[in-house]
Chains A and B, each alone.
Chain A
Amino acid sequence: MIMKVKHAPLLSVLLLAAMSWSCAPDALQDLTPEDSQVFITNYQKSANFGNYQTFSLADSVYLLQNNRTGVSTTALDFRILGRVTDNLTKRGYTRILRSGKPDLGVNVIRISETQSGVVANYNPWNSYWGYGGGGFYYPPTYSYYENTETYWYIEIADLKNSVSGQQPAIIWNAQIRGAGIFDENTLASVVENVFTQSSYLKRN
């Protein structure tokens, strides 16, 4: 690149300005735990929720942790199972034992997903700054990030119409994600939210 030396400092200033402005403000820093909560429900559109009468619910919460599975029976787990039962009962369904051939099978699962990756850091104010002697063309540094999210997952399987030997169809599922969802005091309301937004989920 042919350029008069005279302009080099100015172009450097332009470059520096571009780089220092590249620090986007943190859009979520003022987000309250309550506002961070996301409730996602999916349903099978062909399902007629009025066709079912009974449901069964395991007496423990399943754990799904990066392809490992297990069961959990903490006080909080019993509490969420109780809340799910209450909500389904309010919608007209009757809880029976698994052996009683229920129409619906309900599972409550706590999922932990770890996502990881490598991100490039173009921040000029890192430790590499001192080495380059003020040069702007040093390579970006890389940092490894790992992010684990744990959330509630509730699913309802259609046992009434299932064919033996096949996985029963899931006709409804819900994800409860965000901060404060494992708080004893707010658990009742976060569980209720996924039922509130699923007004179709009722016997009558």
Chain B
Amino acid sequence: MLKMKRIKWIGVLVGMMGFAVSVLGQQVIDRSQLFKRESPYERYTTYRVSLTGGLGLAAGTFSGYMDKTTLRNYTLGLEFVFPKNNLSLGVSVGSQYFQNRLPRQVYNFDGQDVSAVQTRTFVAYPLIVTGSYHIGKVNSLVRPYVQAGLGGAYAELTNYWGTIPTGDNGFRFVAQAGAGVRVLFKKTGNVGLELGANYQHIPFIVESEGVKDASTFNVRAGLFYRWW
């Protein structure tokens, strides 16, 4: 009985020593120093996801085909945010849909006249690799940025004459350039407001419509979330 008790005590003692060693093994930080450490956003590569939507405007030769703007214009982006060099790298997927209904008129071609109500549409789903450079440190409340992107898109231009579709579709190259600003709601927060504008160039030739490119100017607003 006495022997059992002694063994128990030895066990407790060994346990306590182990705990003491593990505590001593850890880095000891003074309480006053604890809050002066860099935040994880300044130490590690962190993540940011953003969802934005807004106005799309046809540009270039595309504007001759599409003189209506759109609000069906969304982008979802995921980025790796680097801590020291103000850069971020990511991918984004987008969805753009333009539509314009033209009242009935007679279109005159060589030896041909066509009377129709045209419903002109354009849809694009770009998948882009983006790179951004920010002005201001990673934890700044307001961070303006410039961004460039390259990728591909599935694009489809369909001009319905009545219900008869004409046009083209396929995968096309995409280039983007833009600028914007991200504003954190709280200094150390994860959520913020994102505002941005970009120019998107898609080479897309539809000779019958006089379209050589499906370029758009986009202004978007939305939210971003960052984490580590």
Residues of A within 8 A of B (CB): 10-11, 14, 17-18, 21-22, 24-25, 27-28, 31, 35-45, 177-179, 193, 197-198
Residues of A near B112 (CB, < 8 A) are 40-43
CA distance A44 to B112 in the complex (A): 9
- Distance (Å) between the CB of B91 and the closest chain A CB? 7
CA distance A45 to B127 in the complex (A): 48
- Which range holds the interface residue count of chain B? 20 to 34
Q: Which of B93, B95, B113, B161 has the most CB of A within 10 A?
A: B113
- Distance (Å) between the CB of B45 and the closest chain A CB? 11
Q: Please name the residue on chain B nearest to A41 by beta carbon.
A: B113
The reply to whether A17 and B111 form a contact with Cβ atoms under 8 Å apart is no
Residues of B near A193 (CB, < 8 A) are 115
Using A25-B97, A42-B112 as known contacts, say yes or no to A10 and B162 having CB atoms under 8 A apart: no
Within the complex, which residue of A36, A42, A197, A198 is in contact with B163, where a contact is CB–CB below 8 Å?
A: A36
The reply to whether B164 and A177 form a contact with Cβ atoms under 8 Å apart is yes
Residues of A near B119 (CB, < 8 A) are 27-28, 31
The prevalent SS among residues of B at the interface is: strand
CA distance A45 to B99 in the complex (A): 35
CA distance A31 to B161 in the complex (A): 11
Residues of B within 8 A of A (CB): 47, 49, 72, 74, 76, 78, 91, 93, 95, 97, 99, 104, 106, 110-117, 119, 121, 123, 125, 127, 154, 156, 158, 160-164
The reply to whether B93 and A178 form a contact with Cβ atoms under 8 Å apart is no
- Distance (Å) between the CB of A180 and the closest chain B CB? 11
Residues of A near B121 (CB, < 8 A) are 24, 27
Residues of A near B117 (CB, < 8 A) are 31, 35-36
Q: Which of B116, B121, B161 has the most CB of A within 10 A?
A: B116
The reply to whether B162 and A36 form a contact with Cβ atoms under 8 Å apart is yes
Residues of A near B125 (CB, < 8 A) are 18, 21-22
- Distance (Å) between the CB of B134 and the closest chain A CB? 21
The reply to whether A10 and B49 form a contact with Cβ atoms under 8 Å apart is yes
CA distance A64 to B179 in the complex (A): 59
The reply to whether B162 and A37 form a contact with Cβ atoms under 8 Å apart is yes
Residues of A near B160 (CB, < 8 A) are 27-28, 31
